[in-house]
Structure 1
Amino acid sequence: MSHRRPRQSKDLEEVARSSEQVMSYCRSSERVMSYFRSSERVMSYCRSSERVMSHCRSSERVMSSERVTLGDWHELRLSRTGRLAILEVDDLPATQTMTPGAFTQLSLPQNLYIGGVPNFDMVSPKVRIRTSFVGCIQKVVINNQPLQILAGALGGVNVDNCPHPCVARPCGERGHCVPQLDYFTCSCGPGFDDPQCQQHAAPVLLDDIPVPRFTGDSFLHYSDPDTIRRIVSFRLNINMRFRTSSQAGLMLWSGRRNMTSSSDFLALGLAQGVLHFRFNLGSGEVDIPYNCTGVSDGLWHRVKAVRNEQEGSLVVDNGPVVTKRAPGHLRQLNTNTGLYIGGMDNIKHSSMDKYAGGLVGCISDLILDTDYHVKLVQMSTAGRNIKHCG
């Protein structure tokens, strides 16, 4: 895994069983190392004090302010901006160091290793740790992107399941167990309403649910041709009702699978209590905030968002229409994720940090292009944690 961004962050949740061990390691080739002096990093435990330390170059390291307890879960947050490296462990005070020199970029063309390395001969002699990690690593997030530790690995040896309630599959066949340190939550598919995703609503009852409720980590997804051809087009008319008491949350999204700053997307959501209509046709983003009325009052509101090529407009209830124009000359929206309602997977990464969570509230009466009525639950191709709107 190669990283060349000037700012990096890395979050881990882990529990250690012994003291001196390598947790993660990545480095560049010797030729690149001779030029980029800060092209090497490792996170490990120091035996003398059982403190977490991070090597940002061969002669610089940053250590945790206090000892960590073995056998307990800990959250590590390591970030680097230019030559500044910051390490945070749980709720302890952050420690930091500034590497000398003029270089600010990190070049790591070789692979990233988690838990150890195949051969410690490949590790720089300046790093004294020569023992692989013994314990559990539950979650790794790099630059807001969760790492699929097992599914995304190119290879590995001697890796087993950590003792955890999720191993027993408490969420059943239709639910996904999400570990949270020693505990877990179940992420359920549509039609399952109990905490362990075991009680399935009868089909007749499911069809009678006109209004779904979203919980912040819920979503409904649509990928049918009738929906897609209305989204991927030169024009789009969105008309729907919603109710929320939350100040923030994603309500509607269509984007690219691998988002960049110039990728096409279209979004409707709340930020600091203000409804925003955003889209990018490939030549620049336009953000249309609606400041004419508050919508986080727990009451039903109707929103109408219209895009006509580069022109966008937004209106809530019977208020005034707010209009803005996207920059550039591109006129068509080209997305490939389908349509998400109420949220989506990995919102922070997929939305390029525009949203951190989904809607907490209810959505109903979704109409696309004035004549296409979307039956929210029945027509969805996927979904998660959908409840009944009371």
Structure 2
Amino acid sequence: MPGISILSGPVNDVWIDDAADDSTILKTRTSVTYPMVCYQSRAGSSYDIKDIIRHPLGDKNNNSETCATAVKNPCQQICVDIKSRGFFCQCRPGFNMNPDGMTCTEIWHPEEKRETDYEKADVNKDSPSYTEVDSRSDSKTRYNNDGEVMVSYNEVVHLKSIDLTRGLPPLEADNRRSSDSALVLDSRRGQSGGYSLPESSIVDSRGTYNIPEGETENDEVEISINALDITEGGDFEPEKVVDSPKPFTGELQEVEVPTCKGFMCKNNGSCAVVKGKAICLCPLGHYGKMCERDVEVRYPKFKGTGYLALPVLQDAHKELRVSLEFKPGLPDGLLLFSEGFDCGTGIAELRSLNRVQLAEWNTVVLTRVDNRATLRVNGGHQVEGVSQGDYTRITFRLNLYLGGYVDMNTIKARVGTEHQFVGCVQELRINGHRFDFRPTGSVGEAEFGINVGECSDGVCDQIQCKNNGKCVARSADRHICLCPYGYHGNSCEKNSSVHILHFSGHSYLELAGLQRSVLSYTEIELVFKPTYHDGTILYNGYSRDRRGDFISIALEAGHLVFRFDLGTGPAELRSLEPVTLNKWHFVRASRTGLLGTMLVDDEPIVSGQSQDSYTQLTLLDSLYLGGHPNYDHTFKRAQASRSFNGCLQKVVSNQKSVDMIGKNLAGVNVRPCSHPCAGKPCMNDGRCKPRLDSYVSHCKLGFFNTNCENVQDSVPTNTMFNGESYLKYIYKDITKSFSSMI
């Protein structure tokens, strides 16, 4: 099956398999090459998926092999060529396919006999051609349903010839053990023309069984077979015997087999025996030994028995960029896996040059464009590779699995590991989209999962925030104190007045909402200085149920983005160029009905239009600056998920200045921004008004100059205004005179 996988392994390196068979695997492990085994069912057939195993074997020149060329008749019973590539084996009625995909086991029912008398068996009916049986055979001679001689460990077999190319007599079902399919396939691919058999041996799916020379016992039965016909692997010596196994003389010991008896998992968990131990498989949202704890997953924690399923990748068939931040606890495990439809041209493998650090945060970035891929770990050397064949697209059909897979046994031959990931994942981004690991039933994207914990559990256990601050997790292993307005610091220990607001990425300021004052026309002006290229600067919505009208201004990858939704679909206006960090910028965003415009500094004006025909904007919730207390309450179309980092100097709504200092309703982690006004330069009760990196002083009547330091000698008789001046009359006689003039 095609796809992509990422793993981690004993040598602590990260590598990917980017298969033209549409499977993508992210992993770190030791390099091991396995043949690919694809499980497919045949249309119109009654065979179960496990009964037909396709073998797309090929040589180093990628030449496809068939029943005739892979090995000399590789199937024990029936071999069928596939027109597209390769072959698969089938079993006759009454037999099941073994895990190796080539040998068959007789279906045995306890109420039926397990052997057929020679007189009743039709040896020549659709069965391998054996030579005539010597007249010394008696009624103890046994054949299976295909006419093949049943070899017992208690009987002597005198072999003159067996056509090994027509299949080997299977061991009795009660003596047969399942074989590892990869091992069987490896051993068979080791020979180009067929099996190489040592003298005096026969081979079944488990390996090689020796037939030592020896004398027959009186109570053993001789069976001689004529007409030597060994086409591969040399001749058998005549008169070879199979010794009786010697009776067991040791002491039997009772071994307790682990079961799920009495194991009661809570919250719809199910019990399973994994590696000899009964455990609970807890559904997403529950965790613990018995699934007894509720857990909200933001930073997934895996312990090697679970996985998290994310949506099927869309719009990733041609180009793919994956960024994953993880902390491994063990050196081997599957990190990321998805697969699609088989293109049949093989796997491309990229291996990092630098090692992954255990118990430390690591970042892996991989890209794929057409059939070319790159891999980089922790900013180290970039590894490049090209997949085989001419196919350049991957169409994913399975969920994207993080930390493991539903059944590792079905993919371990392709991904090179049977281990699921142990450790934590902090962030996963694919093609710029940051995944939310919470369940889709709330606001996240995780569709289902098993045994997924939360890495940030306990991060606040030993933390005390002062002045009514609240401790929360800011990442998988770090905390932050949310300090009420007026306090800041690591533990909310600092108290200082604020002139210009500074937001730290975990901050917000709550003000009265714009309400119905912006129904038909809205104009917002901001002066801001960003220190990071992503974050919400302003948001006002209709309600907190993620529906209805909203307006937002945010930074996304350095570009300023203005969005508004009148109830039928958002308008999105994006600045032409990214803004410069650590510099002051001006933005004016406005809308009239459906039409919106945005001006950023001296750039050309950009415009856009909301969908459908609604023309009024209703905003009944609070106005938030610098962030939001809970992004789960913001409209999904606003795409708000991260708070602003930087300073906010001015906010004007419909030409009215918003008082951010004196009339805020609440705030968290807002502290003073470094600015000349913070030093109170204006004297004689003058008020400092910031102007980007500078300021102007608004002086009281009778004072003037840059910092209001000079006193006027006399009251001016001819007043002059400079655009930022005003006179306020407080005497009743004067105000009465003005009233009579109106």
2:375 to 69, 83, 87: 87
Give 2:436's aligned residue.
147
> Is the aligned partner of 1:2 residue 2:296?
no
Shift of 1:386: 1.4
Residues 254-292 of structure 1: per-residue CA shift (max 9 Å, x gap): 689999xxx9864266997x9x674466586445779xx
1:1-390 equivalences in 2 (<5 Å): 1-6=311-316, 7-27=319-339, 33=340, 35-37=341-343, 59-99=347-387, 100-110=389-399, 112-123=400-411, 125-142=413-430, 143-148=432-437, 154-157=448-451, 159=453, 161=455, 166=459, 168=461, 170=463, 172=465, 174-179=470-475, 184=478, 186=480, 188-191=482-485, 193-199=487-493, 209=498, 211-215=500-504, 218-220=507-509, 226-230=513-517, 233-239=519-525, 242=527, 244=529, 251-253=537-539, 266-267=552-553, 278-279=562-563, 282=569, 285-287=572-574, 305-312=589-596, 325-326=607-608, 331-332=615-616, 339-343=623-627, 358-364=644-650, 366-370=651-655, 373=658, 375=660, 379-380=664-665, 384-389=668-673, 390=678
Q: Secondary structure at the match of 1:157?
A: strand
8 Å Cα contact 1:286-1:324 kept in structure 2:
yes
Q: Whole-Å Cα distance in 2 between the matches of residues 12 and 106 of structure 1?
A: 21
Distance (whole Å) between structure 1 residues aligned to residue 603 and residue 374 of structure 2? 46
CA contact (8 A) 1:367 1:374 kept: no
> Which one-letter code corresponds to 2:608 in the other structure?
A
| Contact 1:264-1:333 at 8 Å conserved across structures | yes
CA–CA distance in structure 2, aligned partners of residues 71 and 65 of structure 1: 19
Q: Matched residue of 2:391: which SS?
A: coil
The answer as to whether partners of 1:12 and 1:76 remain within 8 angstroms in 2 is: yes
Look up the equivalent residue of 1:174 and give its one-letter code.
Answer: K
- Relative distance call for 1:350 and 1:200 in structure 2 (3 A) is farther
Cα deviation per residue 1:227-273 (whole Å; 9 max; x = unaligned)?
A: 35456x43212245x353869676334689999xxx9864266997x
| 1:92-148 Cα shifts (integer Å, max 9, x gaps) | 1122333344352441433x4332234323426322200122333333334431433
The residue identity in structure 2 corresponding to 1:78 is L
In the TM superposition, residue 11 of structure 1 has moved relative to its aligned partner by: 2.5
Instruction: Quote the RMSD (CA, aligned, Å).
Output: 5.1
Q: How big is each residue's C-alpha offset from its partner over 1:60-86, in whole Å with a ceiling of 9 and x where there is no partner?
A: 222112333434432122333443333
Structure with the bigger percentage of strand: 1
Structure having the higher Rg: 2
Q: Is the 8 A contact 2:539 2:550 kept in 1?
A: no
Distance 2:423 2:397 in 1: 26
User: How far, CA to CA, are the matches of 1:85 and 1:338 in structure 2?
Assistant: 47
Question: CA separation in 2, counterparts of 1:159 and 1:245?
Answer: 35
User: Which amino acid in 2 is paired with 1:75?
Assistant: T
Preserved CA contact (<8 Å) 1:313 1:321: no
* SS of 1:126 mapped into structure 2: helix
Shift of 1:87: 1.9
Work out whether residues 283 and 329 of structure 1, in 8 Å CA contact, stay in contact via their aligned partners in 2: no
Match for 2:647: what amino acid? G
Deviations for 1:303-323, whole angstroms, at most 9, x for unmatched residues? 65432225556679xx99976
Identity of aligned residues (%): 16
Task: Go from structure 1 to structure 2 and tell me whether the alpha carbon gap of 1:306 and 1:134 turns closer, same or farther (over 3 Å shift).
Answer: closer
Letter in 1 for 2:315: R
State how far apart, in whole Å, the 1-side matches of 2:347 and 2:557 are.
43
Counterparts in 2 of 1:363 and 1:175: CA distance versus 1, 3 Å:
farther
Question: TM-score by structure 2 length?
Answer: 0.37
SS of the equivalent of 1:244 reads: strand
Cα deviation, 1:207-243, whole Å, max 9, x if unaligned, reads x756422235543356x6x435456x43212245x35
State the secondary structure of the residue aligned to 1:91.
Answer: coil
**TM-score for both structures, normalised by structure 1:** 0.63
CA contact (8 A) 2:599 2:605 kept: no
CA distance in 2, matches of 1:271, 1:68: 28
**1:168 match: secondary structure:** coil
More displaced 10-residue stretch of structure 1: 96-105 or 151-160: 151-160
In the TM superposition, what whole-angstrom CA distance separates every residue of 1:333-383 from its partner, at most 9, and x where no partner exists?
A: 58999754235669xx98779x9973512334x3433458454685456x5
**Structure 2: how far apart are the matches of 1:61 and 1:244?**
45
For the 8 Å contact 1:314–1:321, the answer to whether it is kept is: no
CA contact (8 A) 2:321 2:365 kept: yes
Distance 1:169 1:108, change over 3 A: farther
Relative contact order, higher structure (CA 8 A, sep 6+): 1
Q: 1:338 to 1:24 in 2, by over 3 A?
A: farther
Contact 1:220 1:376 in 2 (8 A): no
Counterpart for residue 50 of structure 1: none
Q: Is the 8 A contact 1:277 1:289 kept in 2?
A: no
Distance 1:243 1:136, change over 3 A: closer
Q: Give a deviation string over 1:129-185, Cα, whole Å, max 9, x none.
A: 0012233333333443143379955332274758x98353536561323237xx735
Partner Cα separation in structure 2 for residue 386 and residue 362 of structure 1: 11
Unaligned runs of 5+ in 2: 1-310, 679-742
> Secondary structure, in 3 states, of the residue corresponding to 1:386?
strand
Q: Which runs of 5+ in 1 are unaligned?
A: 28-32, 39-56
Give the SS at the match of 1:147: coil
For residues 367 and 18 of structure 1, the distance between their equivalents in structure 2, rounded to whole angstroms, comes to 54
The residue identity in structure 2 corresponding to 1:385 is: N
> Could you say if the C-alpha distance between residues 376 and 2 of structure 1 is closer, same or farther in structure 2, counting changes exceeding 3 Å?
farther
Matched-pair contact (CA < 8 Å) for 1:239–1:304:
yes
Q: Supply the AA of the counterpart residue of 2:413.
A: P
Give the distance between the partners of 1:321 and 1:74, measured in 2 at CA. 39
